[in-house]
A and B are shown apart, each in its own frame.
Chain A
Amino acid sequence: MTEKIPLDTKIDSTPELAAPSVSPSLQVRLETLRRWLVQAGALLALLLLSLYLSFATPHFLTPSNIANVARQTAVTAILAVGQTMVILSAGIDLSVAAIAGLSASVSAVLMTSQVTVLGLAIGPLPFVWGVLVALAVGMLAGFLNGLIITKGRIPDFIATLGMLGVYRGIALLVTGGLPVPSHLTATELKGYLPEALIWLGAGDILGFPVPGLIALIIVGLGWFILRYTAFGRSIYAVGGNREAARISGINIHRTKILVYTFSGLMAAIAGLVLTGRLNSANALMGEGEELRSIAATVIGGTNLFGGEGSVLGTLIGAMIMGVLGNGLNLLNVSAFWQRVIQGLVIILVVVLDQWRRRRFGS
């Protein structure tokens, strides 16, 4: 045992057997092409859609409209980054929009008024503290989701569906059901939201909207985590094959709790951006965004059963949804029809995606 003995398989192989029918380098190249085709499908759909719109309406390819699309897509994209990680780990998070509403409401209340908690007078908080409170609330809510799912052994769907109600309810209690700051409560003196927060949602840098930049940074962060960190790897492992992940020593509970905490953090950021854009927070803000984030994830090619997909695809998915909504507005399609069309597009994209996978997969 002191000397290292080489592993030799002790079997003489004839070259006839070793040579595969296709040369390895060609096989690798075909493989690359196949992968590209599988992954680039959503991108292709986005390009075609944009191409069509740029011909169909002169307003689509204007700088102000592009900035507008970026602003509208940002919230969905930020939520969808967290959602993608959850779905990759074979979970689903229905509470993201509720967490966004809750964390934004709590922080908006604390930034605009003085509140007495356990005999301590808090607020109005400055911008940085308000942001930290929102992030903490979001992470705590996500952590609770993870805890309920793992330690309580509750299916992800049920747990986050239940907590969706809980978080929305708490947000309503915190805000009294009114927007913050509110112009209706004339009797109380309420302050305004900090300028910096409004800049987060509505400002721009050299003409590029800040929310879009935040979304891009977050997509980059998500991409890095998934590709280069041990955490990212364990997300793929847990979602790809839970049993095998366990046998490889992955701490499944820790991974899932971290994933939901991360998703809560993303929700809080999205909530802040949305608050800035609307210049006010309210308990019910972003309703329906949880489903849009799931749709963006799936359109982006992430397998709804976990283990397969990427944040870059999700960004494209979110952009397809954003461009589509914007284009329908520009084309003067009625809001009612827009919902019908958006629903059908989600199905269509996924159908095409599955067909492409069957055709070019394996």
Chain B
Amino acid sequence: MKQERRLLLLMEKIDKRFPGVHALDHVDFDLYEGEVHVLLGENGAGKSTLMKILSGSLPRDSGRIFIRNHEMQEIAHMSPEHAQALGIGMVYQELSLVPTLSVAENIFLGRLPRNRFGLIDWKRVHGDAKASLNTLGIDLDTHAITGSLSVAEQQLTEIARVLASQPRILVLDEPTSALSDTERTRLFEIIRRLREKGVGIIYISHRLAEVPLIGDRVTVLRDGQKIGTFPTSEVTEDQLIQMVVGRKLTEQYPKHGVEKGEVLLRVENLSVPGKLENISFEVYAGEILGVFGLMGAGQNELARALFGLEPAYTGRIYIRERLTPIRNSEGAIRVGIGLIPRDRREGLIPMLSIPPNITLGQVSQYSPHRVLSLQKEKQVAQRYIKELRIQPPILDRPVLYLSGGNQQKVVLARWLYGDTQILVLDDPTRGIDVGAKAEVFSIMDSLSRRGIGIVFISSEMQELLAMADRILVLRRGRIASIFQRGEVDQEDLLRSAS
């Protein structure tokens, strides 16, 4: 780092309490011009709260914020408008685009260029939008309706929107969680270019491997407290994991060899119009079948089709060698298939507490007039809360308030309770922290040892290589290849997928 870099942002002893939680405990944070400062921590560690305070969407209880506006000045009250005026740009993990508007309208939302009659200058809107997308190296139709784009494309649109306001402080909250590797590489190039222009970047990520790739300094938060700030060149990944998790992970990828059992699931010539073509494979009892593909290669549709959510599929699905058409989720559950959806919000009923969320997969199979035993339901929940270490173990609180990793465990518990034989996991570790990831993997491992067949879809090659017995690679809706465990590396996977 060059010495003459000036301080852009200083947050001093920021403190914030929510009922029952000390979200931030006198946390200090600073940012220099032309620097990428990585913010690390488990879910619930306080990263998002800190950033929300910076952007003015949450008030702080105490602490001071200074921002350079020619010279450093204290900002007593921060509001979202104020933050924007000070040149703070935020790219949130949860997309904040309006799905029914076009890409160009979203990029210039709230500040559409006008002509001299005060009307919107549509030519300029689309021209400028195209230009700002091009600087990101993205080729998108600016007239396209945002909701019809893939998650990755939406994420890039969101980044383009924030960059169009030319921020001096840019906050990226897990920007790569939905991106493919090529898109991620491109994003890193953009970040480097911005850094050279003197923009200060706060980068939040769960992918520890990204820290040395992109960061200059890294700050670790845990349970609302700052653990420390370090130049990225001076800490190893292992040290970071330990600081983030607060304990030593004995094994990040627990994996036992399991002897293959009978064929649980056999898929023959599965096709979903426009999405999947002639997919054939089988899953054995105790096997973890990995599925890899670039964004939009059909992994998501494969998961949905196996769970009856693509009723228009053609081809044959055999469960334990019996031909079983699966046209809806009820039918899938009945034959012992469970799905952990890609988006955790699709898996849970947010306002219900843990017990009903766990039993829902079974309750849905009951006839409507069947009377439930709430007492038994609580016992079931307590069993899984203990087995899966769901935190906090409060039975009557909406699952809305659980962290991402714990929510994921509740969805897992639903299928464990349902005696599921075949479990389809669609990117189960997306956006959850290292500690929770390791737990999800070890749960997967114990499930496979119980003889459950697992279809494990992931965008993280490392995870697949470590956990899967075989890896099926999809390319544009077709099977590109199926690899045995140990006979491939990341490069092979990528080459096969693209």
Q: Are B18 and A362 closer than 8 Å at their CB atoms? A: yes
Indicate with 1 or 0, residue by residue over A163-206, a CB within 8 angstroms of chain B CB atoms. 00000000000000000000000000000000000000000000
Cβ-defined contact, B349 with A241, below 8 A: yes
Residues of B contacting A13 in the complex (Cβ-Cβ under 8 angstroms): 247, 389
Of A14, A248, A255, A308, the contact of B360 (CB 8 Å cutoff): A248
Which listed residue (A10, A14, A255) contacts B250, Cβ 8 A?
Answer: A10
Asked if B488 CB lies within 8 Å of chain A CBs, one says no
Q: Of A26-34, A115-123, A283-291, which binds chain B? A: A26-34
B349 touches A230 (CB 8 A): no
Which of B56-64, B188-196, B368-376, B467-475 touches A?
A: B368-376
Q: Which B residues are CB-close (under 8 A) to A31?
A: 20, 394, 396-397
CB interface residues, A 222-255, toward B, < 8 Å: 227-231, 233-234, 236-237, 240-241, 243-251, 254-255
CB proximity of B122 to chain A, nearest CB, Å: 31
Inside 8 A of A9's CB, which chain B residues have their CB? 388-389, 439, 442-443
Q: Which residues of B contact A245 (CB under 8 A)?
A: 349, 360, 364
Decide if B246 touches A8 in the complex (CB within 8 Å).
Answer: no
Q: Give the residues from 1 to 16 in chain A that come closer than 8 angstroms, CB to CB, to chain B.
A: 1, 4-14, 16
Chain A nearest CB, measured from B452 CB (Å)? 8
Q: How far is the CA of A248 from the CA of B420 in the complex (A)?
A: 12
B255 to chain A minimum Cβ distance, whole angstroms, is 10
Question: Which of B7-15, B113-121, B149-157, B325-333 faces chain A?
Answer: B325-333
CB distance from B310 to the nearest CB of A (A): 12
CB pair B450–A236 under 8 Å, yes or no, is no
Is the C-beta of A58 less than 8 angstroms from some C-beta in chain B?
A: no
Stretch at the interface among A17-25, A40-48, A151-159: A17-25
B46 in the interface (beta carbon within 8 A) = no
Stretch of B89-97, B137-145, B339-347 lying at the A interface: B339-347
Give A247 to B332 CA distance when docked, in angstroms. 10
User: Are A21 and B371 also in contact (CB < 8 A) when A1-B450, A5-B446, A14-B246 are?
Assistant: no
Complex contact A11–B363 (CB within 8 A) = no
Residues in chain B near residue A7, CB distance under 8 A = 387-388, 416, 443, 446-447
Instruction: Choose the segment among B78-86, B198-206, B350-358, B489-497 that binds chain A (4+ C-beta atoms closer than 8 Å).
Output: B350-358
Main secondary structure of the interface of B (DSSP, over half): loop
Chain A minimum-CB-distance residue to B247: A14
Q: How far is the CB of B20 from the nearest CB of chain A, in Å?
A: 6
Whether B19 and A249, one on each chain, are in contact in the complex, defined by CB atoms closer than 8 angstroms, is no
Interface residue from A12, A250, A254, A362 paired with B19 (Cβ < 8 Å): A362
Chain A residues within an 8 Å CB radius of B443: 7, 9
Chain B residues lying within 8 Å of A303, measured Cβ to Cβ, are 351
Give Cα A35 to B285, complex, Å: 45
Contact (A30, B19) CB under 8 Å given A1-B261, A233-B372: yes
Docked pose: A30 CA to B396 CA in angstroms: 12
Output the nearest chain A residue to B416 by Cβ-Cβ distance: A7
* Contact residues in A for B356 (Cβ distance below 8 Å): 233, 236-237
User: B364: which A residues are within 8 A, CB to CB?
Assistant: 230, 234, 237, 245, 248-251
| CB pair B450 A5 closer than 8 Å | yes
State whether B21 touches A21 (Cβ < 8 A). yes
Q: Which single member of B21, B346, B370, B388 contacts A230 (CB below 8 Å)? A: B370
The reply on A70 being an interface residue by CB < 8 A is no
CB-based contact B414/A1 at 8 Å: no
Q: In the bound complex, do residue A246 and residue B309 qualify as a contact, i.e. CB atoms below 8 Å apart?
A: yes
B32 part of interface (Cβ distance < 8 Å):
no
CB closest residue in chain A, given B259: A1
Which residue on chain A has the smallest CB distance to residue B249? A11
Pairwise interchain contact B349-A240, C-beta atoms closer than 8 A: yes
Q: Is B428 an interface residue (CB 8 A)?
A: no
A258 at the interface (CB under 8 A from B): yes
Interchain CB contact under 8 A, B414 and A248: yes
Contact of A229 among B329, B352, B368 (CB under 8 A): B368
B368 touching A11, Cβ below 8 Å: no
Cβ of A148 to closest chain B Cβ, rounded Å: 20
Instruction: Answer whether residue A82 sits at the interface, using C-beta atoms and an 8 A cutoff.
Output: no
B435 and chain A: residue at smallest CB distance: A11
Contacts of A11 in B (CB 8 A): 247, 249-251, 435, 438-439, 442
Known: A11-B247, A228-B374. A248 touches B361 (CB 8 A): yes
- A16 with B369: in contact, given A31-B396, A362-B19 (CB under 8 Å)? no
The reply to whether the CB of B266 lies closer than 8 angstroms to some CB of chain A is: no
CA distance A12 to B387 in the complex (A): 14
B388 touches A20 (CB 8 A): no
CB A60 to nearest CB in B, in angstroms, measures 37
Chain A residues near B401 (CB, 8 Å)? 362
CA of A53 to CA of B234, assembled, Å = 73
Tell me whether A236 and B392 are in contact (CB under 8 A): no
> In the bound complex, how far is the Cα of B391 from the Cα of A9, in angstroms?
14
Residue of B nearest to A1 (CB): B451
B248 at interface (Cβ–Cβ under 8 A)?
yes
* Closest A residue to B332 using CB positions: A249
Question: How far, in angstroms, from A8 to B445 measured CA to CA in the complex?
Answer: 9
Say yes or no: is B348 at the interface (Cβ < 8 Å to chain A).
yes
In angstroms, how far is the closest chain A Cβ from the Cβ of B119? Answer: 33
Bound complex: CA A237 to CA B401 (Å): 17
A22 contacts B247, C-beta separation under 8 Å: no
A247–B250 contact, CB under 8 A?
no
- B273 neighbours in A (Cβ, 8 Å): none
Q: Is B366 an interface residue (CB 8 A)?
A: yes
B251 touches A10 (CB 8 A): yes
CB distance from A113 to the nearest CB of B (A): 37
Nearest CB of A to B91, in Å: 25
Tell me if B330 and A249 are in contact (CB < 8 A).
Answer: yes
Chain B residues with CB under 8 A of A246: 309, 329
Taking CB atoms, residues of chain B closer than 8 Å to A35 are: 396
Complex Cα spacing A240 to B393, Å: 22
| Interface: A307 (CB within 8 A) | yes
Known A24-B392, A34-B19, A249-B361; contact A230-B446, beta-carbon cutoff 8 A: no
Q: How far apart sit A245 and B250, CA to CA, in the bound complex (Å)?
A: 37
* Cβ proximity bits A91-133 to B, threshold 8 Å, 1 near / 0 not: 0000000000000000000000000000000000000000000
Report A-chain residues with C-beta under 8 Å of the C-beta of B450.
Answer: 1, 4-5
A247 touches B341 (CB 8 A): yes
| A229-B369 contact, Cβ under 8 Å, with A246-B329, A249-B329, A249-B332 | yes
Distance of A318 from chain B, by nearest CB (Å): 23
Distance between Cα atoms of A247 and B246 in the complex (Å): 35
Residues 289-315 (chain A) with a chain B CB within 8 angstroms = 303, 307-308
The 6 closest A-B pairs by CB, nearest first: A1-B451, A231-B368, A249-B364, A230-B366, A240-B349, A249-B333
What are 27 pairs between A and B in contact, CB < 8 Å?
A1-B285, A10-B438, A10-B442, A11-B435, A17-B246, A20-B392, A21-B21, A24-B392, A24-B393, A28-B394, A34-B19, A35-B396, A228-B371, A231-B368, A231-B369, A233-B372, A236-B356, A240-B351, A241-B350, A244-B345, A244-B346, A246-B329, A249-B330, A249-B361, A307-B349, A307-B350, A362-B18
A11-B249, A228-B371 provided; 19 other pairs, C-beta below 8 A? A4-B450, A5-B450, A7-B443, A7-B446, A10-B445, A13-B389, A17-B247, A20-B392, A24-B393, A27-B394, A31-B397, A229-B372, A230-B372, A233-B363, A237-B360, A240-B351, A241-B346, A244-B347, A362-B401
